[in-house]
Each structure stands twice: as structure tokens, then as C-alpha cells.
Amino acid sequence: MSRMSKSLGCGHFGESYNAFRNEMTYEGSMQNSTIHGKGVLIHHDTGNEYHGMFNNNHKHGACEFILKTGDKKSHFVGEFRHGVEKSSASNYHPKQA
């Protein structure tokens, strides 16, 4: 995957690497200057990761969360629709090995 620094206002298509106010990093597909398609969003404060699909800057579709607690990582799967969790957090389940 190519890595390049682009702002969301640049009209970029394809793959991109973006840092947002030093709070999170996105690496993945973009379309019409928006986060769109498959990508990874990493939160710098927690180290938590969202791996999944995006639609017009919103989490959308099946996803995997990687939650970090100290040196331990927990993997969960879930789903978003237009930026909103499709089911409650209690319905998320550990990823099957």
C-alpha cells in the first residue's frame, strides 16, 4: 500500500495515509476526498484499531476492533451502518481463531 500524506480536501482517489490532528491515523482507500472503502483507523491515545469498511467518512459494514489493554490485545468483530454500531456492544463477540 502506498503511503502519502494528503489532506481530505485534495480530491485524492486511491490509497492514502492520513494523520488527523495527532489523534488518529487512517490508512486505506479514499474516493472524492473522503475516507471510502477498506481501511484501518488507529487511535493514538489508546492504541485501539478499527479494521473495516468506510462509506463517505463513516464506519460502515463489517469490522474488526483490536482493543489494547497494556501489553494485551483483544480482537472483536462487529458491524457499523453509516457510522452507528448496528448492534449493542454486548452483542460483539471475540474473533474466532
Q: Summarize pLDDT for 69-97 with one digit per residue, the tens.
A: 888 888 888 888 877 777 655 445 555 55
Contact 36, 56 (CB under 8 A): yes
What φ, ψ does residue 89 adopt, rounded to 5°? Answer: -55, -30
Q: In this structure, what C-alpha cell is assigned to residue 73?
A: 490485545
CATH topology of domain 14-94: 2.20.110
Tell me what pLDDT residue 83 has.
78
Tell me what pLDDT residue 94 has.
54
Dist. CA 75–CA 64, nearest whole Å: 7
Pairing of strands 93-94, 72-81: antiparallel
Answer whether 0.75 is exceeded by the pTM: no
pLDDT at 49 over 90: yes
